[in-house]
Structure 1
Amino acid sequence: MSLRLEKYGSVAHLLIDRPEKRNAFTTAMWQATPDLLADAADDPDVRVLVIRSAEAGGVFCAGADIKEMLANKDDAEWRAANQTAINRVQHELARLSVPTIAFVEGDCVGGGCGIALACDLRVAKAKARFGITPGKLGLVYPLHDVKLLVDLVGPGQAKRMLFTGELLGAQEAARIGLVELLADSPDALIEQLLAASPHSIREIKRVVRRVLDGQSDDDVETRAIFAEAFIRPDFHEGTAAFVEKRKPDFGG
Structure 2
Amino acid sequence: MTLRLTTGEHVARLFIDRADKRNAFNQAMWEQLPELVLQAMADPAVRLLTIESAHPGVFCAGADIAELLANKDEAQWRAANQAAINRAQHVLARAEKPVIAYIDGDCVGGGCGIALAADIRVATPRARLGITPAKLGLVYPLHDTKLLVDLVGPGQAKRMLYTGMLLDAHEALRIGLVDEIAASPGHLEDVIAANSLHSTSGMKRFVRRVLDGQADDDAETLEVFAQAFTGPDFLEGTSAFVAKRKPEFK
**Which category describes the TM-score, using the shorter chain as reference length?**
over 0.9
TM-score in terms of structure 1 length: 0.98
Unaligned runs of 5+ in 2: none
Amino acid at match of 2:49: L
- How far 1:58 sits from its partner (Å)? 2.6
Which residue pairs with 1:50 in the alignment? 50
Quote the Cα distance in structure 2 between the aligned partners of 1:176 and 1:112: 18
SS for the counterpart of 2:14 is strand
- How far 1:175 sits from its partner (Å)? 0.5
Quote the Cα distance in structure 2 between the aligned partners of 1:21 and 1:168: 21
SS for the counterpart of 2:112 is helix
SS for the counterpart of 1:12 is strand
Quote the Cα distance in structure 1 between the aligned partners of 2:46 and 2:232: 19
Quote the Cα distance in structure 2 between the aligned partners of 1:32 and 1:195: 29
- Which range moved further: 25-34 or 111-120? 25-34
Pairwise CA RMSD: 0.6
1:39-84 alpha-carbon deviations (Å, 9 max, x no partner): 10000001110000011x2310000000000000011111100000
Which residue pairs with 2:234 in the alignment? 235
- How far 1:182 sits from its partner (Å)? 0.6
Amino acid at match of 1:126: P
Quote the Cα distance in structure 2 between the aligned partners of 1:88 and 1:52: 19
Quote the Cα distance in structure 2 between the aligned partners of 1:115 and 1:42: 20
Quote the Cα distance in structure 1 between the aligned partners of 2:191 and 2:36: 24
Quote the Cα distance in structure 2 between the aligned partners of 1:195 and 1:174: 26
Write out aligned runs for 1:1-252 (5 A).
1-55=1-55, 57-251=56-250
Quote the Cα distance in structure 2 between the aligned partners of 1:58 and 1:44: 32
Q: How many residues align?
A: 250
1:89-123 alpha-carbon deviations (Å, 9 max, x no partner): 10010000110000001100000000000000000
1:19 and 1:58 in contact (8 A); partners too: no
Quote the Cα distance in structure 1 between the aligned partners of 2:236 and 2:86: 39
Quote the Cα distance in structure 2 between the aligned partners of 1:224 and 1:39: 28
TM-score in terms of structure 2 length: 0.99
Quote the Cα distance in structure 1 between the aligned partners of 2:90 and 2:234: 31
Amino acid at match of 1:14: L
1:11-63 alpha-carbon deviations (Å, 9 max, x no partner): 111000000000000011101111111110000001110000011x2310000
Amino acid at match of 2:31: Q
Quote the Cα distance in structure 2 between the aligned partners of 1:156 and 1:235: 41
1:62 and 1:112 in contact (8 A); partners too: yes
SS for the counterpart of 2:125 is coil
